[in-house]
Amino acid sequence: MEELEWALADTLLSIQKGSHSEKWRKEITLNDQPLIKTVLSFIHEHYASELSLEELAKASRLSKYHFIRTFKEAAGCTPGQYVTKVRLERAIDLLRTTALDITTIGFAVGFGSLTTFERSFKKRYGCSVSHYRKSL
């Protein structure tokens, strides 16, 4: 079923060319690279804990600098930016499906402070976390 969803999304996004086209292609390429795929799995399993660049490089079995270069080339963003993206996606899920307070959600998804969570959320989604929750 997941493969069908990816194929459908690829078809729909390829019909209308735009700024999303290149990003979509990069995400597919990212999943096709075995070393990066291993790191992605590691990130998705451990996003709530403090993830260091050293840990991620170790999971990829590459040197730290080679890992950064390879990851950025494949993903179009740094490992840190990707970890933040995963944490924010999980936070959105928790905001939609639970009554947990915002501070608890921020710490539960791995942010070290409420300020960092708020700042990252606003940068990505264009509104504050509390405004987003009120709009649900």
* DSSP structure class, residue 18: S
CB-hemisphere CA count at 13 Å for 131?
Answer: 7
For residue 22, pLDDT over 70 is answered with: no
* Spatial distance between the Cα atoms of 136 and 134, rounded to a whole number of angstroms: 5
| Model pLDDT for residues 80-123, shown as the tens digit of each residue | 999 999 999 999 999 999 999 999 999 999 999 999 999 999 99
Specify the range with the lowest mean pLDDT, choosing from 20-34, 36-50, 61-75, 80-94.
20-34
Summary mean pLDDT of the chain? 85
